[in-house]
Structure 1
């Protein structure tokens, strides 16, 4: 992929850590300017911005609840005002509380759907309205929609909705020269994955993979860079990036 992309601008939601941070850094390596989004913790987002700008890239941090249309609109305003436009949306922001369906508190269920489904709908809606031709919308699903592990019911349901939104939006943007795809990581070494898991469980999950390890945020960021740049004939797809997990 060419690095002559300094006029392109990406918004990376959840860009302060994990897959979001790795994606922001990876896109910046390609010369893409980045809006690093955070929800409540500004310091890690500013660290990501610093890492980009210290190597000659352009980046700004911007906060807000991506499920709130006013806050999300302000995020898009920042991209246009500070960096000149919007060409790529990488929507990694999400939450993953785990519980068997029979024991799940419905307030937690509603919170998961609000962040993961409504949040995706809101930022995709804004991207569809404001993204320039040649753009790429990259949503995040999960390999759990296929692996069907216990305790992931509410989370998998939310990501199934994300896949549906992705595939339909790709068709609705006919004639706009904008691709819309979803990345579906497998178990990946992020704080979100490690939360609430014993080391024994983490080791067992890692060993189930043909590579006998967890994915890394950088593994996932490579797929993001592909979809953000050269993959113009990949559209309306869910790409499973999981090392062959089954």
Structure 2
């Protein structure tokens, strides 16, 4: 019988220094992960990464921080190679990297589109590729996308549109990696109460999002709280392994597909 629990497993989390990624790291350490590799993007995030590493170690797990810009294939490959060497293997790979852009289509520049594609699509593709090369058999891969994949709304074409390919990457990878027992999923939170959400939204939009979900009145903020997403990711990379090739929207009734 294959053990799909978190206990004793090694984990790589892209964007694992703070917010959702940081909470996932702390949670999996509390579940008994053997070691966790915490990726962060720039030197500005290093203090948060160091704090998360310290929290993981305090929970009894080994932890390592790695800085990398994941918008190039070579740096994604280096991240996996170094994390694998540090931990002796990788069982679980979770990618929380993303960048919101909210603008009318006619105002989006080529540079903005290319940047959104690099962060939201390209990095996810090569994250899945390297996970497929480096993960131990019976491993788990989970990418964070967005519940806007189920929305019929303006202004998010570049954001949701560059997250949308990850849904197909997930399906294809689940078929290609399934023979090794590796499950591949994507999870789409609703608008989350993190510092990434507010700069892209005006006051009216924030007020709308805080009331748009069916369960908004029962949320701490009215938005999707990161604490509500972590249990689903924990499930998908452990006992929920039989669910593969799927994109799951977890948003309190904000959108559906």
Q: State whether structure 2 residue 12 is matched by structure 1 residue 11.
A: yes
For residues 215 and 242 of structure 1, the distance between their equivalents in structure 2, rounded to whole angstroms, comes to 6
Count of residue pairs the alignment pairs up = 245
Q: State whether structure 2 residue 234 is matched by structure 1 residue 221.
A: no
1:3 touches 1:31 (CA, 8 Å); kept in 2?
no
- Provide the TM-score with structure 2 as the length reference: 0.90
Shift of 1:24: 1.2
Q: State whether structure 2 residue 84 is matched by structure 1 residue 80.
A: yes
Q: State whether structure 2 residue 46 is matched by structure 1 residue 42.
A: yes
Shift of 1:210: 1.6
For residues 152 and 52 of structure 2, the distance between their equivalents in structure 1, rounded to whole angstroms, comes to 33
1:9 touches 1:79 (CA, 8 Å); kept in 2?
no
For residues 131 and 17 of structure 1, the distance between their equivalents in structure 2, rounded to whole angstroms, comes to 24
Unaligned runs of at least 5 residues, structure 1:
none
Q: Which residue of 1 aligns with 2:98?
A: 94
Q: Which residue of 2 aligns with 1:244?
A: 253
Unaligned runs of at least 5 residues, structure 2:
217-221
Shift of 1:199: 3.7
Q: 1:201 aligns with which of 195, 202, 205?
A: 205
Provide the secondary structure at the position in 2 that maps to 1:132.
strand
2:103 touches 2:156 (CA, 8 Å); kept in 1?
yes
Q: 1:156 aligns with which of 154, 157, 160?
A: 160
For residues 58 and 160 of structure 1, the distance between their equivalents in structure 2, rounded to whole angstroms, comes to 34
Segments ≥4 residues shifted beyond 6 Å: none
For residues 17 and 200 of structure 1, the distance between their equivalents in structure 2, rounded to whole angstroms, comes to 27
Q: How does 1:14-33 map to 2 (within 5 A)?
A: 14-32=15-33, 33=35
Shift of 1:5: 4.2
- Provide the TM-score with structure 1 as the length reference: 0.94
Per-residue CA deviations over 1:156-188 (Å, capped at 9, x if unaligned) read 111110101111110111311000010011111
Q: 1:112 aligns with which of 106, 116, 119?
A: 116
For residues 240 and 214 of structure 2, the distance between their equivalents in structure 1, rounded to whole angstroms, comes to 26
